[in-house]
Structure 1
Amino acid sequence: MVVLAGIPSTSVSLVVTRSATLGIRNGMAVSAGIVLGDLAFIALAISGLSVVAEQMGSLATGGVLFGAGGCLILKA
């Protein structure tokens, strides 16, 4: 995971290319768009998970507790 975090993604390439060809203002605008898109994606993912948890009710709570218990057993 650390290796993947160190490798630049296509969004980094896009920002560098835009900044080099069209100027720093365009690069900053592209960066802002990428950040806003990521935040929107995270918000949708979180809201989707909360809907799933609401629909599952106590079953979701039991699943989380069961998973946490399993992790504790494996750690011991």
Structure 2
Amino acid sequence: MDEKRLLTMVVVSNILSSYYAAKVSFCLNNDREPNNTEKDDILKKVLSMFENLSTSYLKDIQEIAASIK
């Protein structure tokens, strides 16, 4: 497996983990499962969080990636 694919798998895994954690939190707070619109909102919030983090820490991420090579 090449490095790019491995890194993609790690990122996707983290996004999915965050999504399901947010969904569980929603269920606990609202005592019900989210409907499809609410699921979409949860996913958008998780993706936005990852976009913001990756933008904020882009230089750090690039340095870490360079040191791994």
> Which TM bucket (shorter chain)?
0.3 to 0.5
Give the structure, 1 or 2, with the largest relative contact order (CA under 8 Å, sep 6 or more).
2
Question: TM-score when scaled to structure 1?
Answer: 0.41
